Structure 1
Amino acid sequence: MNENKRHQCSTTDGNKMKKFRCTSYEKHSVTHFEDLANELILEVFDNLDTYQIYQSFFHLNIRFQNLCTHANLSIQVGISSVSKTTFQRYYNDFIAPNKHRIQTLHLSNPFIIDFFVSLSEDITRCSQLQTLTLCNIEYGCRETVLAAAAYLPNLSSLSICVSSQSDKITIYKLIFQLPILKYCKMTFQDQGRDSLKLLPIPINSSSIIERLVISDNYDFCDIDTILSYVPRIRYLSVRSQNLLVMRDILGCLVIFNDLTHMSIITNCLSPISTEEFVKKHSHRINVLHVSSGWNSTCTQTWENSILSYIPYLDASELNHSASLFYNRMMEIHESTYNYPISRVLSAYQRFFTHEPMSKEYLHEIFCSIQPHRDKVFKFVPDFNMTTCQCRKEPDCNSIKHIIINSTAALPNCSKYFPKITELTLHDKAIIQRKPYLMDDLRRILPLVQLTKLTMNNIFYELDIFINILQLTPNLHTVTWISIKNTPKDLLSLQESKAYQLVSKQNQLCPRVQYISLGPSDRSLDATVHYLLSKINDATLHLFLLRIRGASPHWIKCWKDKIESHEVLYDYSTKVIGSSFYLWWGD
């Protein structure tokens, strides 16, 4: 199989090299990019983002302007980090004349949506649109987009983030009415607030959705309602993001006879509702895995009842407090369901192995040893890389993102991950290994390559952040979640050698374009004033600011300040939920 793949790749590469040599020898030696033939330049463009093409080539000359708008070039609009002035120019020169050719549209900037959906703009002009992503969209506008999307004849993939103000029932109705949608991913911010009891059971559903990924907290009654709307479903994933207490969680993996897969991770399920669901679908269930934190002494009768409905089950597993199986299913959930429709439609060579578990967990894990999308590696408590066959020889060259849930597991790692570009630290006990953390990180990954850093639940260890920043000159995105306290020794930290060095060589802040801040009782006003200061050289490229959890009074005061003091000239403001957005020009 590998030989065939290599032969196909070498043949393709050989044809491209012949084409390039033919062009070179027939005309002249190519020493400049502009000397390449148009067809070769278009091949290069196919591997670039549309905004990169516009920014780099559109204004060179007439020839490159024509190539940038060539009919064979697919247009994918996914820009979010750009100033108001720059985007307005990009929109007028490139997007507006070519809306009918846009195939992919990613809208995460709350202001850019107005260029596609407003009183003067209609998203149905994007008649070739195939993939649409909606995030940070204000209440009402999201429903308008979904209603108009029913008239997009090629829309097959949709990803949407739904705010707490939206009506879930309306959102579901609009999505299930999209005529050719095959892949849909929905993320609800306010999870578990509303059930789907008010969503009527359809008589005849015409939805052709095959893959449905939902981030919310539902019970089996809601799952049944969803299934009634998607008769062609092949993969359904329902997972709540706000699950904290293990004993309340139930994980359920179901495979029907027609190979339809369902993965459900929630705390809304009960033994009664689970039994009712299994009873209703007993004639369809082929494989059933259930893992929960329920008291096993109280559920033996329930287990026997469940199995009595499906006597011809090919594989089953009902276990309790099985955290290992739960973690495995989470990994299966991530690798199986969270990838875009474009990959679903492609064929991949896959190689599999199986992992026998201990007697405590009477089942086996069947997993890919070369997963096509497994680019994340996690360090968890009590994890030993040598005890798991599926992880015994990880493909270190394919891993791009390391998540450290337990810094105590780092000394046990004997591997080096040379291609890492993203690091997530998620360990409240990180302070216990602070003296060794930098040595541990240097031993397993190249810090100089990092471009993204996330610190989650690292409450006030600012010196750890400074030490990491000192060795990561290429960082362009930093996310720090749950900063609860300001370090008491902040003054001494500022006087330290590490801080002074970072202050001189840091390239992150002078290039920062977008900042999102949570509420602060002490420093919010001073921080915003600093960021918007005209004489602030550290934020010359900043053009988008978000304040989360802002009060109406605070928003009004700052709107008045910006307008009366002429802090900014070409700017726009929006309020979405409790978030205040400010976008301005160069």
Structure 2
Amino acid sequence: MYSCDQYMKPVKRHLSVDRLWEDDTKRPRTSNENERVTFIEHLSNELFYEIFDYLDGRDLFYAFSNLNLHFESLIMSSKFRLKLHHCASHQELFDQDYQQIIIPNKHRIISLHLWTPSQLLTNVVLHPIDSSFSRLEALSLHGIKFKQVTSFLPCLTSLPSLSSLNICLNDVLSNSSTIYHLLFRLPNLKCSKLSARRYSLQNFISNTSNQPMTSIKQLIIDHPCNLHGLYDILPFTPKLRRLQCENLFPTYGNISKEIPLNIFNLTYCSISLCYLKFDEFEIFIKKISSQLRVLCFNPCSDISYLDADRWERLITKHMPLLYTFQFKYHDAVFGYFEIQPYHLFINRFTSPFWIERKWLFNIEIDFNHWSPLEIIFSIQSNRKRWDNTDFIVTEQECMNIIKPISQLTVHECRIPHPAQWFAHYIRFVSSLAKITCLHIEFKYFSIVVLVEFLHLLPHLDSLTLFIHFSNQNMKLTQEQNNTIRAMPTMNQIMKINVEQVFDLNHIDLFIDLCPRIEYINIQCKDYIQLESIIRLVLTKNNCNLQFLFFSIPIADDEMVQKIKAIISSEQSAVSFKIQRISNKIYLQWEKH
């Protein structure tokens, strides 16, 4: 799919050098084909062009144009296409760039980024951007003023190849429709992005009956807008496939439900912050959702968005092709959590409708965020396997061990011991939904807090731990030891993912706490730590562990052979499979 990012970021273009440099860039031959290359000029022209493709055109000119005849001929080739993303910002230097680089090579420029376009406007009077820029595909204008844009855009209609346009205003966007309707007159435009931090929301729908339809397929509205603004421009985008909107506000007054939008190809819609009431959003989304496959947005200030059954009805009837659904709703909590009427239906996000689509319900709490405490309800896609184990784990085995329903994510857990308020928060979350996955980020690891989590969340199936710093003192009281000894008979955890390990005792404790564990994924710092974990696991005779996966920065095939030798020497009768993929080592035992 076409993307503005292809040209908005200075990334490498993928070109077929054999086709582009077929005639005049053949590698110089020496008298002896086997002679070793001793001069940089003897390298192939194809290789130089591959290197040049990573560099900005302005840098190339100033670095190589006067170096020698060979390099000058390379960068002056009419077939070498230029990207100019770093033009000078100072007026005098920019004039020099414009006269010495841009104008003489305008037929070779495919991408042009201007960071102070007011400088450009003083030059286009003498040297307009017109059809002579025959290859210009992408143009970015940063720091331009509203009036300058409205006067400059009509000049771009003669560009035969312009398909991507990025505009970033440095003053008030007083009337977005004026700019969009000028953009829509560019005949070959496929991707457009308009950014502004100061704005005036539109409170009317303009009279644009003679506006031509645009060929735009991706529209990025990187400025606040309201429904009036969307209803004013979307009817002229019949080919639109991707719509991204920064902030969407409600309108002042009613909009007729009968206004057609003519959106039949939209497959992706993203709204960073949506301030519409659910009723307004529902009317809008029904007009554009028939082909929608991806919907990502963050609603604000309307608890109706937490009505899972309403979402189910809306998606089933009006978004039958929806594949990825993501949203976050932020709820501020003052003091102790109290059950509100809308909380009673949140568990409906774990019904079969959501599980079948692999849309995971997540509750996030940041214990370092006071006050009020913020609780975030979200839906996210869970189609990726928990640990990317598909190299050696069969589909049926994955289905048996990976069955997430709802997840609790806890950020910045700094408390060394559970308190009454802590237990209250976790019980509150547990009452909202059947939590099966726990992702907890420890600032300092606390066994007592971890055990309290496991005690308060009896339905856990998987556990992910990120430990910033390890506590050296792991001594527990007798009461705490009794609680830990009682845990294995209670919890159902089958999967543990440890993002950071500082002590082998952690792994030993996790295995003892979770006797049903079948899967462990561990980030290791070196081979010594990896080997010690494997030897520990081999001593656990009653362990149900089947899958053990390591991420290690310096993994290599020699490590794999050492692991094979260790397992064969200590458990020669046990069958296992082992495989290394990049910096990951996958180990699987057969069931007993």
TM (normalized to structure 1)? 0.47
Task: Give the structure, 1 or 2, with the largest relative contact order (CA under 8 Å, sep 6 or more).
Answer: 1
- Structure index of larger Rg: 2
Q: TM-score, normalised by structure 2?
A: 0.46
Please state which structure has a larger fraction of its residues in helix. 1
